[in-house]
């Protein structure tokens, strides 16, 4: 299947007629081609966005809201088609795509369609001076949105929805590894009545297409989700151009388990938080620290549950662990398992490639649990981003807090305890943008989302996203 760029409301081939093969993770075979867009395509997308901006930025909030909610409704109406495309393109179980990814993409449009009608700014009376100050929140103009491959439509729409809700026009690039649902989104936008040029989608490599978006002198803001090294590169390019930046980057998230937790709830949730989407979620708890008094029991029970997970073809409803996204990523993850062995880590389960009958060339890997003896080993410090977790015991709150914070990342943390004092103290002291207590991945779209340290700059979600995609202007009137 050959897909096209979506520019000015129309689908078109790349202007220089360059293409990239698109692989199915489930069988390792080419099943389509996507544009390898260059600066010329990005320029065309920018021109369409620039032309659409004056009209779109003046469109009433009610009109914008109605269009975004219509997009949401159409995504829900086509959930089977989108879920099948997402599963085939990414390798994730279709059950996950149907239950989480596509519904969340629809929720993104519905949420920001409603949020923009409630978004308010502030005013201040200058008492004794006979003046009033008020703040305008004005759209930026043309903005760039670049999203990753792990949650393709979910995170693509997480950026696009607030950007267009706030009155901006967008040049967007999905990952070249998982372009399919972004391509299908163009059809939905046309059906929903989104004006031409408000959203433009260009496909291609990060080093060419993404670079062209970041370097474009008139694209005034960049919202990026992806790897920390790429985020650092974007910051270096964008900083001298004074672009607004939102960077949601990597994570190496601690999962801290105390003996006074609800054990069964913790165990079941920890399996999910470790291996959902083949561990290819930036929020997965990849470092598991367990209080020493329950460590041996946890190790036994956790390994048993992980070993029972079914690795299989993504299209099968019974599959728990699908295919990793690409051959190169599978090799990277396998490389870390080899490093763990070199560092004297103990492979408690998994660690091997899986051959699925009929799909022998697919990118399958057993969910892997590694027992480590020190928190500063590479597999405990570096982001693996696959179905691999480490476990080790701790004895005191002070010890586990030090280990949890001793990484360069600070995206999320999970804490399991029924001790209120401990909950309040550790939640305050953990160096993370998100702390979940006795749960994982429970999201409220009104809350700020993002990380600290090498996990990024800025926040997405709720009014934080609408603030990012607008410029604040103070007006002072003396009366």
Strand-pair partners of 129: none
Angle between helices 79-90 and 102-115 (to 10 degrees): 120
- The distance from CA 294 to its chain's CA centroid, rounded to whole angstroms, is 33
Candidates 248, 366, 383, 460; catalytic one: 248
Contact 127, 86 (CB under 8 A): no
Distance (Å, whole) CA 151 – CA 460: 16
248 is catalytic: yes
Contact 238, 245 (CB under 8 A): yes
- Which long-range contacts link 232-235 to residues 24+ away (Cβ below 8 Å)? 235/457
Locate 106 and state its tokens: 């629809």
Q: Which residues are catalytic?
A: 248
């Amino acid at each position: 299947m050959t897909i096209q760029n979506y520019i000015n409301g129309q689908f078109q081939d790349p202007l220089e007629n360059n293409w990239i093969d698109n692989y199915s993770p489930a069988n390792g075979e080419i099943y389509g081609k996507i544009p390898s867009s260059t600066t010329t395509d990005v320029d065309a997308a920018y021109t369409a966005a620039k032309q659409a901006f004056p009209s779109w930025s003046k469109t009433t909030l009610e009109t914008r809201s109605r269009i975004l909610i219509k997009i949401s409704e159409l995504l829900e109406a086509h959930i089977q088609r989108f879920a099948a495309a997402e599963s085939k393109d990414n390798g994730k179980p279709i059950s996950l795509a149907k239950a989480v990814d596509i519904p969340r993409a629809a929720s993104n449009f519905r949420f920001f369609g409603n949020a923009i009608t409630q978004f308010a700014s502030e005013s201040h009376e200058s008492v004794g001076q006979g003046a009033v100050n008020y703040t305008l929140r004005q759209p930026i103009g043309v903005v760039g949105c670049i999203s990753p491959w792990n949650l393709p439509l979910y995170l693509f729409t997480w950026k696009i929805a607030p950007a267009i809700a706030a009155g901006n026009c967008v040049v967007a690039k999905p990952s070249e590894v998982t372009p399919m649902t972004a391509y299908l989104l163009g059809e939905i936008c046309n059906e929903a009545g989104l004006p031409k040029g408000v959203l433009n989608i260009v496909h291609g490599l990060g080093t060419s297409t993404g670079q062209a978006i970041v370097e474009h002198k008139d694209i005034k803001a960049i919202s990026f989700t992806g790897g920390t090294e790429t985020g650092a590169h974007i910051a270096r390019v964008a900083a001298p151009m004074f672009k607004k930046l939102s960077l949601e980057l990597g994570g190496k998230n601690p999962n801290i388990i105390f003996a006074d937790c609800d054990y069964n709830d913790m165990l079941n949730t920890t399996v999910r938080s470790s291996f959902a989407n083949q561990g290819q979620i930036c929020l997965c708890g990849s470092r598991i620290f367990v209080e020493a008094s329950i460590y041996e029991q946890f190790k036994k029970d956790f390994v048993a549950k992980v070993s029972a997970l079914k690795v299989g073809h993504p299209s099968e409803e019974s599959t728990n662990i699908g295919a990793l996204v690409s051959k190169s990523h599978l090799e990277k993850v396998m490389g870390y398992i080899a490093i763990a062995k070199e560092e004297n880590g103990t492979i408690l389960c998994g660690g091997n490639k899986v051959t699925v009958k009929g799909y022998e060339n697919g990118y399958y890997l057993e969910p892997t649990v590694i027992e480590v003896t020190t928190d500063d080993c590479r597999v405990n410090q570096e982001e693996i981003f696959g179905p691999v977790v480490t476990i080790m015991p701790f004895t005191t709150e002070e010890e586990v807090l030090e280990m949890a914070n001793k990484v360069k990342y600070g995206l999320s943390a999970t804490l399991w305890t029924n001790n209120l004092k401990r909950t309040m103290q550790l939640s305050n002291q953990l160096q993370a943008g998100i702390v979940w207590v006795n749960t994982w991945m429970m999201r409220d779209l009104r809350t700020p989302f993002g990380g600290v340290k090498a996990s990024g700059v800025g926040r997405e979600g709720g009014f934080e996203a609408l603030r990012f995609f607008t410029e604040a202007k103070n007006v002072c009137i003396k009366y």
